Amino acid sequence: MTRPADDDKLQQLGRAVLETEAQAVAALAGRIDAGFARACRHMLACEGRIVVTGMGKSGHIGAKIAATLASTGSPAFFVHPGEASHGDLGMITARDVVLALSNSGETDELLTILPLIKRLGIALISLTGNPRSRLARAADVNLDVSVEREACPLGLAPTASTTATLAMGDALAVALLEARGFTAEDFALSHPAGSLGRRLLLRIEDIMHTGESIPRVGAEASLRDALLEMTRKGLGMTSVVDDSGRIIGIFTDGDLRRLLDHGEVAIAGMQVAEVMSRGCTTIRADLLAAEALRIMDEKRINALPVVDGDGVLCGAINMHDLLRAGVV
């Protein structure tokens, strides 16, 4: 029969788990030594893929480590050791490096494929909780991920040990990332559908309004015509251009409010050039959409005219465009 637990007890248990796992991860810092550097050198020299393998919970952690490596510039994939001895070992080539995970270092499925890995003559890196295990002794480099105790009060469920292994995998991935000179844009290239990808890859020309959708009037236009253009195009502003299409100013709904704040004005007989803002902020079409967001935030504006290299108006963009594109 399940024994009821009060809220204080549940919170106490939760904190105890986090403290145990935090201590296990903290202990790894002292094990980042020459062996860690050798493991990194093997992976940096790899001409193929980093093949990550492990059984059970170690396998789940291994799959995540492989995904992290792959998304940070170190091509990698996960192979299930049980399937490896039934044909999937053919996925491993002489150009690869194997990263094997086993807390005990005595996992039968891993030990079964060790001779075949050795026959290929490729580097074997192990992450084990037992440096004296057969897997650790067979590896070119063994990284010690042992823990003092599991967070599980029974000492049975892999908890602190899997957290420590995952943390060591992250340490390897980030060290390789830095060594390769991997950049945020490189990361975005492998995450084009994510918010970071949109921020780092999407350019203004991809989402700006063009052609007849651009709000614009000539310098000789009346204020009434400018207001009608703003209403038709719905961007909260209109650019003012000269005869060659170069932008000379901008009139926004904010300018209109400030104009009306001065009391009664003869809008009917006024030209937009009398009330437009000159020297307005513009942006080039080939810049990142994230740059438009930065400028809008900094200037506290909601729209930008887009110009080409000669200063000729070629588009317009506003905050709603950035929201729809997922840049914000």
**Residues 251-266: tens digit of each pLDDT:** 988 888 888 777 656 6
Beta strands in the chain (DSSP E): 50-54, 76-78, 97-102, 124-128, 141-144, 216-218, 237-241, 247-252, 277-278, 283-284, 303-307, 313-318
Question: Would strands 97-102 and 283-284 be described as parallel, antiparallel, or unpaired?
Answer: unpaired
Question: Which tokens in the block code for residue 22?
Answer: 């935090």
CA distance 130 to 116: 22
At residue 264, φ and ψ (nearest 5 deg) are: -70, 130
CA distance 38 to 52: 17
Highest mean pLDDT among 81-95, 153-167, 173-187: 153-167
Instruction: Quote the pLDDT of residue 144.
Output: 97
User: Residue 279 — pLDDT band, cuts 50, 70, 90?
Assistant: confident
Q: Which domains does the chain have, with CATH numbers?
A: 17-182 (3.40.50.10490), 204-324 (3.10.580.10)
Q: Are 227 and 276 in contact (CB under 8 A)?
A: no
Segment 16-44 shows an average pLDDT of 96
3-state secondary structure of 307: strand
Q: pTM of the prediction?
A: 0.65
284's CB contacts (< 8 A; 6+ apart) are 204, 306, 307, 308, 309
At residue 143, φ and ψ (nearest 5 deg) are: -105, 125
